[in-house]
Each structure stands twice: as structure tokens, then as C-alpha cells.
A = this chain, B = another copy of it.
Amino acid sequence: MPGRACSDPEELKSFNVDWLKSVRGCSELLLKPKTAAEVSQILRYCHERNLAVSPQGGNTGLVGGSVPVFDEIILSTALMNQIISFDPVSGILVCQAGCILGKLNEYLEERGFIMPLDLGAKGSCHIGGNVATNAGGLRLLRYGSLRGTVLGLEVVLADGTVLDCLASLRKDNTGYDLKQLFIGSEGTLGVITAVSILCPQKPKAVNLAFLGCQDFSRVQETFTTCRAMLGEILSAFEFMDEKCMELVEKHLGLSNPLRGSPFYVLIETSGSNSSHDEEKLNSFLEQAMTSGLVTDGTVAVDDKKIKTLWSLRERITEALTRDGCVYKYDISLPVGKLYDLVTDMRARLGQSAKNVVGYGHLGDGNLHLNITAESYSHSLLDAIEPYVYEWTARYNGSISAEHGLGFKKKQFIQYSKPNEAVFLMQRFKAMLDPKGILNPYKTLPSSP
């Protein structure tokens, strides 16, 4: 692969460290294959020689899953960025793993469709990485998870075998659904080289409402009311606490159009008829205002204002990294319990944390709990963990709703999965990657 194998330490630097700068490897080799056949050759070679490989997409992961831990060879999908086909009748897109999510969405928008997922990292994350981590994001409430929308995958196994399950069919019940095992396996079972995905039509009308609520119980009730009244056009229901808003204002200079609410919610509708959608949204807003669920609010229909309001939510992660050292938790909980964890943690940590904030995809029961501090400290970490995981396990939650386990959370899997399940996962890993060359030290605790 002339010009596509790199061993220059300077160039390797950014591939060795994750976006949060929390995990750093010391790989001395970066490979950029262009085809599944090249990936197959690489893995066959590495398999024969027991060389470890760390597959990497856009390197936007938040749990240290996308960078080497030691000197693993980095296999980047950056040059696997070709769109293979798009069928406007079925809405099925087939593309290589290294296509950037945002670029795919632009390509589709020109054809009257959109990607079924959307993330803050869309400008750099790769679709292969999205699938490998089963990314959730902002549209899950409406279009469901990648487990439903991904129709086929091409995967290269540890020994170099190319598994071509790149079907473009909505329905196929011929044998076990192998692709599911690779979705969310964080590159530990195989390297995803191409994806077939079902894309929804671009909605003709999009409306956004940004609202203020006086307490979390009103946030919840706003959600159930809005789900009932907006029904099939509801496409996002995000919430954030006032601390989040303070941070995006302070660190990014964004301006909050509302004031003085302890909680904010962002509601998006997407539909095929703008006057119907506006009518539904207005009658919901009237109901929410008159019943006191919502005390303040603003609505956007034009693209520019929609983008501005969305950035208040999407850029929280960025604002947090500017606030200091960040301890990130991505928790699934019953909606009623969601914010109690933030309140509890704030009280528990007191002055030892700089900020404790909560935001996330309320409609999916997904809380992003983030704690910032001036610098990294073992005593602060000990005050947070395993408390946060025990708290989550007590309510049968998930300690990783959408970020995955990667390097940083793998030892906590037992808080969300029984031993029998972890043991079975380890058997799958041993069967598919007997030499353990694929993304080692990630996802699963070592076998006993």
C-alpha cells in the first residue's frame, strides 16, 4: 500500500490519542486500506504473526475504544470512503465504512432522504464506527436503533475471511442474523468494511421548540404530553439542566434565548405537511403553557434558527471539555429516576467537583451525567465510581446506553449484564478471534 502505511511519529500522534485525550497508545504503524480485500490481507498477515490491530474510524468515541492501548497497529478506515449505491425507491444506501456521517447525510438530502442517525460528531465520525459502536444519537426516538436500520454488513474477520452479508433487503430470514453480532462489538469481533442502511425520506417540515421547565417532574410530564399530542411527528425530545446552558454560554459564547429555568427541553417535529405539524405543535404548546408545565419558550421553523437552537444541545460535550477534566457517564434509567442520579451525585461530591451536569435523550431514557474538575484526581474518581454504577444497577439501568464500553468501561460490564451473558460473550470472542488480535483490551473483561 504505497503511501498508505505511515510510521512517522508526528503523523501518528493524533491517531494514538482519543478525542477526549484520555487514552493514549504508542502505535508505530498506521495503515489506510482502500478495500475489503486490503483489509483482508492485513488481517491475514497479522493473524498469522500474532500482531494486534486497533480499527479506527473518525476517532470520536468517548470510552477509549478507538485508539491503541499499547503498540497495536492502527487500521484506519479513512480512505474507505466510497458510496457504493443508493436506491431512491427503497431508500437503501450502500457505502464503505469510512464515509463520514455528515457527508452521507448531505448526499442523501440532495436526493430527498436523510440518514436515520444524527450525532454531534457527524462532521468527523465514520459510518463504520457508528455501526461498530451501535451509535444512538438524536434521531433514535423517531427512526429506531441501527439494529433495525442496518440491513447488511461486509465484515472482515480476524483471520482475514471476508463475510459478505451486505444485503439490501428490508426482510431476510435465512438463518441467523450474523451482522447483529458485529453491530456494537467495537471492532473486537471483526472489521466492518461496508454498510447497507435503510434511510428515511427527508421530512418536508421540521419545527423546533426550546422550552423552559421549573422542575424535572414537569420535564417528564412535558414529554408524556408531547408524545401523546405530537405522536408520529415527534422526532427528538432532549433535555438539559441550567448548568449545561451556563457552560455553553461561558465557554462557547452561545446565547440562551430563555432565562431562569432550572431545566430546558428541545422538542423537534418532522413531518410531511407543515401546516398540520404547526397546528399539532401549537396546540401542544398551548396546553403545556396553560397547564404550567412550561414557563417560557421559543419556536424555530427556519433552518438558521433551528441550527442555532440545536447547537445549544449538540455542543454541550465540547463546552464540558473546556470546563476542565471531564468524568463522563452515559446511563440508561427509567425516565422517572433519570435526574435523581445527578442530584445525588451533586450532593455527594460537594465542593470536590467543579460542575455536575445532566442532559440527554429523555425520550430514550438516556442520561449523560458529566462531572468536571480542575484536574484529574483519584480521590474524586473513587467518590464517583463504583457509586454511579451501583446506583444504576439498583434501578436495572445500563452503565452504557450508547457510548459502549471500550477501554474505559469494560471492567464494569457486570453492573449491567449477568455472569452467564459475559461468559457467553467471551466464548464468542474466543471463537471469532482466537488469538485476540482485534482491538484487544476493549469491551470485555479478560477471560477468567
Residues on A facing B (Cβ under 8 Å)? 87, 89-90, 133-134, 136, 140, 144-145, 147-149, 161-165, 167-178, 180-181, 183-185, 189, 201, 203-204, 220, 224, 227-233, 270-273, 276, 279-280, 332, 334-336, 361, 364-366, 396-405, 409, 413, 416-418, 420-422, 424-425, 427-428, 431, 443-444
Closest chain-B Cβ to A359's Cβ sits at a distance in Å of 15
Chain B residues with CB under 8 Å of A404's CB are 173
> Measured between alpha carbons, how far is A162 from B281 in the docked complex, in Å?
47
Closest chain-B Cβ to A146's Cβ sits at a distance in Å of 9
Chain B residues with CB under 8 Å of A173's CB are 133-134, 136, 184, 398, 400-405
> Nearest B residue to A364 by beta-carbon distance?
B170
> Nearest B residue to A416 by beta-carbon distance?
B174
Q: Are the CB atoms of B148 and A421 closer together than 8 Å?
A: no
Point out the residue from B169, B175, B224, B232 that lies within 8 Å of A421, measured CB to CB.
Answer: B175
Q: Are the CB atoms of B176 and A185 closer together than 8 Å?
A: yes
When all copies of this chain in the complex are counted, the total is: 2
Q: Are the CB atoms of A181 and B181 closer together than 8 Å?
A: yes
Chain B residues with CB under 8 Å of A365's CB are 90, 169-171
Point out the residue from B231, B332, B403 that lies within 8 Å of A272, measured CB to CB.
Answer: B231
Q: Are the CB atoms of B272 and A276 closer together than 8 Å?
A: no
Answer whether A335 and B271 are a contact pair too, CB < 8 Å, given A231-B203, A422-B175, A425-B175. Answer: no
Top-5 shortest CB links A-B: A148-B148, A231-B272, A180-B180, A172-B398, A171-B401
Q: Are the CB atoms of A89 and B425 closer together than 8 Å?
A: no
Of the A-B pairs whose beta carbons lie under 8 Å apart in the complex, a sample of 9, sorted by A's number, is: A144-B148, A145-B148, A162-B420, A168-B396, A170-B366, A172-B400, A173-B404, A175-B422, A276-B276
Q: Are the CB atoms of A420 and B163 closer together than 8 Å?
A: yes
> Nearest B residue to A430 by beta-carbon distance?
B431
Beyond A174-B409, A175-B413, 7 extra complex contacts between A and B, CB < 8 Å = A134-B177, A148-B149, A165-B417, A172-B401, A173-B402, A175-B444, A176-B428
Interface centre among A144, A169, A204, A397 (most CB of B within 10 A): A169
> Measured between alpha carbons, how far is A189 from B176 in the docked complex, in Å?
10
Q: Are the CB atoms of B425 and A332 closer together than 8 Å?
A: no
> Measured between alpha carbons, how far is A334 from B171 in the docked complex, in Å?
11
> Measured between alpha carbons, how far is A176 from B185 in the docked complex, in Å?
6
Closest chain-B Cβ to A100's Cβ sits at a distance in Å of 21
> Measured between alpha carbons, how far is A375 from B433 in the docked complex, in Å?
51
Chain B residues with CB under 8 Å of A189's CB are 176
> Nearest B residue to A398 by beta-carbon distance?
B172
Q: Are the CB atoms of B420 and A172 closer together than 8 Å?
A: no
> Nearest B residue to A233 by beta-carbon distance?
B232
Q: Are the CB atoms of A420 and B161 closer together than 8 Å?
A: yes
Point out the residue from B171, B270, B444 that lies within 8 Å of A402, measured CB to CB.
Answer: B171
> Measured between alpha carbons, how far is A170 from B227 in the docked complex, in Å?
16
> Nearest B residue to A172 by beta-carbon distance?
B398
> Measured between alpha carbons, how far is A321 from B289 in the docked complex, in Å?
58
Point out the residue from B184, B203, B272 that lies within 8 Å of A230, measured CB to CB.
Answer: B272
Q: Are the CB atoms of A405 and B175 closer together than 8 Å?
A: yes
> Nearest B residue to A361 by beta-carbon distance?
B171
Interface centre among A134, A147, A397 (most CB of B within 10 A): A147
Chain B residues with CB under 8 Å of A270's CB are 232
Answer whether A398 and B169 are a contact pair too, CB < 8 Å, given A180-B180, A416-B174. Answer: yes
Q: Are the CB atoms of B177 and A335 closer together than 8 Å?
A: no
